[in-house]
């Protein structure tokens, strides 16, 4: 059977960085995110006993090598659950430009889990789909449930999954992404997670992560932007401190990254409630409420180091699309 599913990307307020179990992608700490309605990926999966091998196209381009192998490994987990060995034809399409500097693995592996499980005839719960997405990319588990989402690290494959803490319409937050570099990063997240424990700061970050997670969760539930903003900025900078002091160091920031951070401080001093977070790359996510999003976007675009911006509100969960 051939099935198509769609999934949003997500932006973490409290970051997943480092694994307790790298094979299973069981995180070292709990994380919290919101789905991004306007950054989506659709995945189509078809299993057929007559296919000689797995094949993957991304935005129409045939893909082989490491990226494809990672997707095929996720299909292996699905095949094992479905108890068959049919090969798969897999296609993903993103609605945002590939190579825009926006990580797409979360949306991709979430959509692949949902499409793949349905194509294999598996009736999995949301928690099981989230755990399956996690095996492809940790942060992908948070794109399966809708809205504002928590991932309690758990300790086992079955207990490490994400759940909704509030629906998408709970709070009209916007993520304005200031793209300062669209270059493909030299070290991706998977390589970065493996370095986390090589420095001395990760232990302190993990030890204090639950406290920040609880503060951020309470702030989301209370729709308290200053409280949320304060803790997400601290959490992001702490993760980058871990990265910068790993051995070897991972330094994702560019001069323009810091320029945007300083601009955010100035905008706040000028009365615009906006806060930043930064993933494993140089681009800066500007989090604000909808009424301020247009102003934040035009201010960001006017900064010299900002090449372009993208904007997204809060999104729903991953879902199977009706067949055409």
Q: Which is nearer to ligand DP6, 6 or 105 (CB)?
A: 105
Q: Which is nearer to ligand DP6, 47 or 148 (CB)?
A: 148
Residue 35 near ligand DP6 by CB under 6 A: no
Least Å from the CB of residue 123 to ligand DP6: 26
Q: Which is nearer to ligand DP6, 233 or 279 (CB)?
A: 279
The answer to whether the beta carbons of residues 254 and 282 sit under 8 Å apart is yes
Q: How far is CA 318 from the centre of its chain?
A: 13
CA neighbours closer than 13 Å in the CB half-sphere of residue 24: 16
Specify the length of the chain in residues. Answer: 324
Residue 280 near ligand DP6 by CB under 6 A: yes
Which of these ranges, 10-18, 34-42, 53-61, 171-179, lies near ligand DP6 under the rule CB under 6 A? 10-18
Least Å from the CB of residue 297 to ligand DP6: 22
Residue 190 near ligand DP6 by CB under 6 A: yes
Identify the bridge partners of residue 286 per DSSP, sorted by sequence position.
176, 276
Residue of 15, 79, 87, 205 interacting with ligand DP6 (CB under 6 A): 15
Least Å from the CB of residue 142 to ligand DP6: 7
Which of these ranges, 11-19, 73-81, 121-129, 292-300, lies near ligand DP6 under the rule CB under 6 A? 11-19
Least Å from the CB of residue 150 to ligand DP6: 11
The answer to whether the beta carbons of residues 6 and 110 sit under 8 Å apart is no
From residue 150, give the alpha-carbon distance in Å to each of 52, 97, 142, 165: 39, 27, 7, 7
For tokens 């991972």, the residue is: 250
How many C-beta atoms lie closer than 10 Å to residue 85's C-beta? 10
From residue 200, give the alpha-carbon distance in Å to each of 14, 28, 147, 233, 252: 20, 15, 34, 21, 19
Contact positions with ligand DP6 (CB under 6 A) in 134-173 = 137-139
**Helix H or strand E segment including 274:** strand 274-277
Q: What is the spatial distance between Cα 293 and Cα 179, in angstroms, rounded to a whole number?
A: 16
Q: Which is nearer to ligand DP6, 87 or 212 (CB)?
A: 212
Which of these ranges, 34-42, 133-141, 216-224, 297-305, lies near ligand DP6 under the rule CB under 6 A? 133-141
Q: Which is nearer to ligand DP6, 105 or 150 (CB)?
A: 105
Residue of 3, 6, 29, 31 interacting with ligand DP6 (CB under 6 A): 31
Residue 210 near ligand DP6 by CB under 6 A: no
Q: Which is nearer to ligand DP6, 127 or 321 (CB)?
A: 127
The answer to whether the beta carbons of residues 139 and 19 sit under 8 Å apart is no
Residue of 8, 9, 29, 129 whose CA lies nearest to 74: 129
Per CB under 6 A, residues contacting ligand DP6 are: 12, 15-17, 25, 31, 103, 105, 137-139, 189-190, 193, 279-280
């Amino acid at each position: 059977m051939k099935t198509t599913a769609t999934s949003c990307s997500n932006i973490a307020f409290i970051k997943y960085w480092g694994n307790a179990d790298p094979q299973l992608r069981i995180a070292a700490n709990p994380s919290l995110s919101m789905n991004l309605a306007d950054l989506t990926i659709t995945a189509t999966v078809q299993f057929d006993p007559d296919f000689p091998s797995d094949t993957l196209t991304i935005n129409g381009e045939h893909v082989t090598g490491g990226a494809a192998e990672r997707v095929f490994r996720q299909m292996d987990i699905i095949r094992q659950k479905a108890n068959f060995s049919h090969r798969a034809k897999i296609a993903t399409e993103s609605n945002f430009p590939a190579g825009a500097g926006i990580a797409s693995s979360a949306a991709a592996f979430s959509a692949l889990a949902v499409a793949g499980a349905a194509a294999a005839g598996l009736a999995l719960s949301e928690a099981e789909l989230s755990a399956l997405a996690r095996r492809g990319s940790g942060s992908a588990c948070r794109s399966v449930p809708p809205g504002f989402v928590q991932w309690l690290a758990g300790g086992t494959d079955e207990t490490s999954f994400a759940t909704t803490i509030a629906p998408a319409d709970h709070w009209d937050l916007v993520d304005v992404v200031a793209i300062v570099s669209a270059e493909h990063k030299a070290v991706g997240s998977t390589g970065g997670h493996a370095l986390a424990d090589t420095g001395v700061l990760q232990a302190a970050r993990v030890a204090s992560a639950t406290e920040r997670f609880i503060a951020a969760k309470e702030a989301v539930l209370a729709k308290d932007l200053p409280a949320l903003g304060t803790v997400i900025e601290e959490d992001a900078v702490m993760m980058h401190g871990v990265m910068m002091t790993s051995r070897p160091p991972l330094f994702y920031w560019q001069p323009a990254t810091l320029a945007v951070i300083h601009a955010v401080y100035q905008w706040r001093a000028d009365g615009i409630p906006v806060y930043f977070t930064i993933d494993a790359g140089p681009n800066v996510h500007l989090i604000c409420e909808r009424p301020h999003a247009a102003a934040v976007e035009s201010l960001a675009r006017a900064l010299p180091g900002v090449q372009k911006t993208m904007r997204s509100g809060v999104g729903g969960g991953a879902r199977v699309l009706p067949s055409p």
